[in-house]
Amino acid sequence: MKAKKLRRICAVALTLALGMSVFAGCQSKQEESRKLIYNLGEDPETIDPTLNTSSGSGSVIDNAFEGLMRLDENEKAVPGVAESYEVSDDNLVYTFKLRKDAKWSDGEPVTAKDFEYSWIRAISKETAAEYNYQLFYIKNAQKFNEGTATREDVGIEVVDDHTLKVTLEAPTAYFLELTTFTTYMPLREDIVSSDPEGWALDPETYVSNGPFKLAQWDMKDQLVFEKNENYWNKDDIKLPGVVYKLVTDQNTAYASLKSGEFDMVDTVPPSEIESGQAEGLVTIHPNLGTYMVVFNVGKQSTLSEDAKKVLSNAKVRKALSIAIDREGIVNEVTKAKQTPAYAFVPEGILNAEGEDFADRKYYDANKPNIEEAKKLLAEAGYPNGEGIPTLEFMYNTEGSHNLVAQVIQQDWAKIGVNVELTNQEWKVFLNTRQQGGYQIARHGWLGDYVDPMTFLDLWVTGGGNNDAGYSNPKYDELVNGAKVEADVNKRWDMMKQAEDILMEDMPIIPLYFYNKTTGAKPEVKGVRVSMLGHVYFDKAYIEESK
């Protein structure tokens, strides 16, 4: 959920700012008297930075908190709470100097201890943070999580209130970008430890250090954020606040935008994209992410023996993959100019020579191959799908996921595989998938930074976000080796080999590379939509004609 230009891996800056010109001849002014009303969609799973795994919730957190570094409009890490930093000659030790005017929303100073507490909380086993692996780049962080190292062994040192020294396991080109990620945000120990389960639900205790602070949370209705007058850069914040509405039906939300009730919506119904673009209401933003289907291949304790046997067969999974009409999905269902996915790692991650990591096509993503799919099923022992029980495909209720699921259901029926569709509300869906209470499920992943590793380390054995339960020792070896490989060319090749293994095993079916569609009134200015899917309001304002 964060991005940047790496030392040897760069990406085209795809961040866009929303805005339309006002009518010719009209003078305009900045309206600072009202909050921007933005429809987020589903109720956040959590807005605890340590526990969050969702890009939607991440956008909320990004506007409430600030890390040592933050991302600018070009997805580069620039000073946030840290006003400066130094890196040792061996690229292993980072020393951050914190701003002395950085404060929490209650006026208390932000200190190095706040970062230390947050990071140790994230890697503590009892916290069970799914994103704890994002801090395993820090020396002995993983060993501490596993119980084989002490707190004193971890490479996090508070030198003084305004100096934090971090020692890494190995040189990590994108470490500064990692410090912009939600799991790296600071937290107040006195606040969180007093109510670990409830502090992030109550505006009185949701103390943050970013541009906005939580004022009200009406579950399934709205979150109201106000400008944080104690934010060190408060003079540059133009909005008095942001209201996150929680209307899950895209059509209802878009109608509220057109009627003037909402200023901006996070997603647009596929049927409204073309006309909305013509009206100047809809913008399509490139995203670094992949929409996919995930198989339960390793968390199967609740599955029947027949389902286990089918889902554990790679030939069956490959057959189901090549039977899907990806081009039909992006042209007829999603309609946001997405690219049918021919690999897992999406387009847009370049090396120093300008080569895109996504330069290999593992199958023809532009048309289904029914005959080859049937052949694979027969080789797997299921000719024409005979012997395969009716499988269950689970998706979350919000958005157009049901339409995508229906296409998949129809495509699989063509090769003799029947699927029952089920859906769950977002929070329940995430928990069910994470716990392994499914057979096949809808999935999607947006990069947390601009490097193939943000996608590939998702599937290492035992990974916090490895909802497939996938495990391959050779894959683990390549991914973990690439994390510490100093030679950028060898590292690049190791990651390519890892993706080769993943696509051969096929625990997932990549469907398309994401785009993000947002809708906004023409007078909404300065909202930044990151290529990693986050929406920033720190430079936003509402311009109204006189």
**φ and ψ at residue 45, rounded to 5 degrees:** -60, -45
pLDDT of 75 reads 83
pLDDT of 33 reads 59
Q: Which amino acid is at 213?
A: K
Q: Which domains does the chain have, with CATH numbers?
A: 9-281+521-545 (3.40.190.10), 287-515 (3.10.105.10)
Among 24-28, 207-211, 472-476, 537-541, which stretch is predicted with the lowest mean pLDDT?
24-28
How many whole angstroms separate alpha carbon 524 and alpha carbon 264?
A: 8
How many whole angstroms separate alpha carbon 11 and alpha carbon 350?
A: 5
The residues facing 295 across adjacent strands are 440
Do residues 98 and 163 make contact, with C-beta atoms less than 8 angstroms apart? yes
pLDDT of 194 reads 96
Burial 298-308 (b: 16+ CB within 10 A, else e): bbbeebeeebe
Task: Please write the tens of the pLDDT for every residue from 134-188.
Answer: 999 999 999 999 999 999 999 999 999 999 999 999 999 899 999 999 999 999 9
How many whole angstroms separate alpha carbon 335 and alpha carbon 116?
A: 45
How many whole angstroms separate alpha carbon 485 and alpha carbon 491?
A: 6
Q: Would you call 500 exposed, middle or buried from its count of C-beta atoms within 10 A (0-12, 13-18, 19+)?
A: middle
Task: Please write the tens of the pLDDT for every residue from 345-392.
Answer: 999 999 888 999 999 999 999 999 999 999 999 999 999 999 999 999
How many whole angstroms separate alpha carbon 272 and alpha carbon 267?
A: 10
The residue length of the chain stands at: 546
Do residues 259 and 253 make contact, with C-beta atoms less than 8 angstroms apart? no
The residues facing 242 across adjacent strands are 36, 225
Residue that has been written with the tokens 């490895």 in this structure = 466
pLDDT of 545 reads 62
Task: Please write the tens of the pLDDT for every residue from 229-246.
Answer: 999 999 999 999 999 999
- DSSP letter assigned to residue 84: E
Instruction: Please work out, in degrees rounded to the nearest 5, the angle formed at the alpha carbon of residue 274 by the alpha carbons of 271 and 280.
Output: 125
Burial 445-460 (b: 16+ CB within 10 A, else e): bbbbbbbbbbbbbbbb
Tell how far CA 67 is from the center of its chain: 17
Do residues 521 and 263 make contact, with C-beta atoms less than 8 angstroms apart? yes
How many whole angstroms separate alpha carbon 184 and alpha carbon 119?
A: 6
pLDDT of 20 reads 34
Q: What global pTM score does this model have? A: 0.86
Task: Please write the tens of the pLDDT for every residue from 420-465.
Answer: 999 999 989 999 999 999 999 999 999 998 899 999 999 999 999 9
The residues facing 331 across adjacent strands are none
Query: Any residues with CB less than 8 A from the CB of 409 and at least 6 apart, and which?
Result: 393, 419, 421
Do residues 507 and 522 make contact, with C-beta atoms less than 8 angstroms apart? no
pLDDT of 76 reads 87
How many whole angstroms separate alpha carbon 411 and alpha carbon 526?
A: 42
Q: Which amino acid is at 460?
A: V
Q: What is the rounded end-to-end Cα distance, in angstroms, of the chain?
A: 38
Q: Which band of pLDDT confidence, cut at 50, 70 and 90, is reported for residue 16? A: very low
Q: Which amino acid is at 190?
A: D
Q: What is the DSSP string of 282-343?
A: EEEEEEEEEEEEEE-SS--TTS-HHHHHHHT-HHHHHHHHHTS-HHHHIIIII-S-PEEPSS
How many whole angstroms separate alpha carbon 329 and alpha carbon 339?
A: 10
Going by C-alpha positions, the residue among 61, 101, 94 that lies closest to residue 80 is: 101
How many whole angstroms separate alpha carbon 404 and alpha carbon 522?
A: 31
Residue that has been written with the tokens 């933003």 in this structure = 285
Tell how far CA 349 is from the center of its chain: 16
How many whole angstroms separate alpha carbon 519 and alpha carbon 268?
A: 6
How many whole angstroms separate alpha carbon 111 and alpha carbon 158?
A: 9
pLDDT of 30 reads 47
Do residues 452 and 10 make contact, with C-beta atoms less than 8 angstroms apart? no
